[in-house]
Structure 1
């Protein structure tokens, strides 16, 4: 892990959208949940509902935060790995770099889950958000290194259909073929057999090993968009339009597939890949068009600050008590408000303290890269 200055060849919209994505999990969702509790009107309740994961099947906008981050890691691939490949860096050297980064993210995920305390193997949770990103990123980049674009498309289709067939034609012992319950689905059953330590819900882990298979497709979809943006000969407006159309088509296909293979983030079903991918495409199309095509960048600076140090702020929650820090700095302000609105103010201050920390890192030109 190193601290470096950011590369100038990355899309400004890429860091902005990554920052917008992280904005929600670094504190924005807590503001809206607090507001829904303080003012339980249909408007605030509806927003809070979209910022809560479904128990099992179904989809909310909050479900898109994780796959959007992985999608954007794929978009960045042609600008990082692809750039070095074009410069003549040997594939084997890039392969080792990709594997190292993927495994380092897995390690960081284990640390995030369990801290730096030594525990018995049975008490360690190995699957994680960063681990899912690391593995899916790693395999998608290996595919990118050794196949051309048509090969990557074939891999994308094969992964989604293969995962569908895996779950549709199998089930945990004692359950009917194609069972999609938490107890009976085949992916969770395989995780219970092969994943060491303990699973997040004992019988299932939303970041399990088997469901990494379709997550590779999420990264490959991002790589396709990265190639389009970096190497496409059409105008920026046409690129944005193509991603918009792809997003709409992806959403339609997701709803159709949902009829036989439910949209489910917990299992990262193939229909979920298309649903989350469609929303990610629409967001990237919008951010790219407004920021990189039209040139309206100033408004996005707030999000860019977050996006340039996204891993740092994500990991910081495991080691810094941000709520305590915000309370210490803004006790005077919190005393001006009574409950339940004091909770809204506190959640807002936590977000601003985190952003202030990232802005300080930006000014010092310190950026955490894996």
Structure 2
């Protein structure tokens, strides 16, 4: 008898929405900085504090990484979670998978360094590197701690990260409203040296070392959401309601906490974690009710599922193929449309074409049943 949990369409669609969002944000930013195209403010990351549409994308991916863990491990027939649930083969499998993901991140983060190492510094951290660390930590904790203990740990990490950012550091005064002027940024400068993403005396890395701790907490919140979706009560509508209540509470908590602990993706503050997790939970609640409970087919759900099933592959492909955005053929529709719709809207046309080209690849892969797992 097959004991594997059913594949949840809501997770694939939200994961796909997250990947498409990352591709759109990165592509619009690439055209803005490389080709000088105009850009909507919502597609730009907040300079240091604040929250834009672009800021919601990456943390949603971290959250979804955690949410997929209970279903993925259950599908493999791994032992139940709880103390003593992490056996040797499972640990080796988790280490290998996270290692491959980290290595892939190193390659993608350093494409320009590999081409011109004399002009671009090597960067050890990055998006996939953070995902790898969050996945490993959340998966190991899922196998070794119970649900309540994991939630307590997540809350403790978020609570303790606040005073951690306020610790004094040797080369300046702590000011959470000033980029890099905090203990977390100083630690990155100390350990990573000139390899931080933002250079300078107050340089820092938005995917740095200590700021990965609250990201791990966010992945653990995702694990809790994944467990909730697997529970029997989630199949009759109570699951969506629970996610909606939790999401609303997280959004409110993040906004209130943000009055004292600034909402900052660059520092990955605890208030930012709550706010971005809340947004992801609300979206997941709506998708779960519509797709998993009611069995409806929402417009665009197939398109997003194509991306969601091969999420890491789609992300990697867009990184490798981003040079296409500057091609002359993609500039023609931008120039043509600018007088009619304005430069900001016209700049999204090459981005939409680029997303469409990637979709053609992942749609073909889904049709053939090809799933690339890192």
Question: Which TM class, normalised by the smaller chain length?
Answer: 0.7 to 0.9
Q: Using a 3 Å threshold, how does the CA distance of structure 1 residues 22 and 134 change in structure 2: closer, same or farther?
A: same
Using CA pairs below 8 Å that are at least 6 residues apart, which structure has the higher relative contact order?
1
**Residue 350, structure 1, aligned to residue 349, structure 2:** no
Q: Give matches, 1:59-78, under 5 Å.
A: 59-78=51-70
Cα RMSD of the aligned pairs, angstroms, is: 3.2
CA deviations over 1:67-98 (Å, ceiling 9, x no partner)? 10111111111111244324899622212212
What's the offset of the Cα at 1:315?
1.0
Provide the C-alpha distance between the structure 1 equivalents of 2:250 and 2:190, rounded to a whole number of angstroms.
33
Aligned equivalents of 1:27, 1:191: Cα separation in 2: 29
2:176 matched to 1:172?
no
TM-score scaled by length of structure 2: 0.84
Q: Cα 1:190–1:296, aligned 2, differ >3 Å: closer, same or farther?
A: same
Aligned residue number for residue 193 of structure 1: 190
Aligned residues: 351
Matches within 5 A, 1:218-367: 218-297=218-297, 299=299, 300-321=301-322, 323=324, 334=333, 337=336, 339=338, 343-367=347-371
Encode CA deviations 1:48-72: one digit per residue, 9 max, x unaligned.
2222111001111211100101111
Alpha-carbon spacing, 1:291–1:195, altered in 2? closer, same or farther (3 Å): same
**Post-superposition offset of 1:32:** 11
How big is the shift at 1:179? 4.4
Aligned in 2, Cα 1:289/1:96: closer, same or farther, shift over 3 Å?
Answer: same
CA 1:178–1:143: 2 relative to 1, 3 Å: farther
Q: Is the Cα–Cα contact under 8 Å of residues 322 and 350 in structure 1 kept in the other structure?
A: no
Indicate if the aligned counterparts of 2:29 and 2:44 stay in contact, CA closer than 8 A: no
Gaps of 5+ in 1: 1-6, 35-43
Give, in whole Å, the separation in 2 of the partners of 1:177 and 1:344. Answer: 39
Of 273-282 and 291-300, the range deviating more from structure 2: 291-300
Farther off after superposition, 342-351 or 242-251? 342-351
Q: List per-residue Cα deviations over 1:201-243 (Å, max 9, x = no partner).
A: 1111100011000000110011001101112435431110010
Question: In the alignment, which residue of structure 2 is the partner of 1:4?
Answer: none
Matches within 5 A, 1:83-232: 83=75, 84-86=77-79, 91-115=87-111, 117=114, 119=117, 123-168=121-166, 170-177=167-174, 179-195=176-192, 198-202=195-199, 203-232=203-232
Gap change, CA 1:252 and 1:27, over 3 Å in 2: closer
- Give 1:364 shift: 2.5
Q: Residue 228 of structure 2 contacts residue 234 of structure 2 at CA under 8 Å; is this kept in 1?
A: no
Conserved in 2, the CA contact under 8 Å of 1:50 and 1:60? yes
Give the TM-score taking structure 1 as reference length.
0.85
- What is the CA-CA distance between 1:184 and the residue it aligns to? 1.6
Bigger CA drift: 342-351 or 249-258?
Answer: 342-351
Deviation of the 1:196 alpha carbon? 5.7
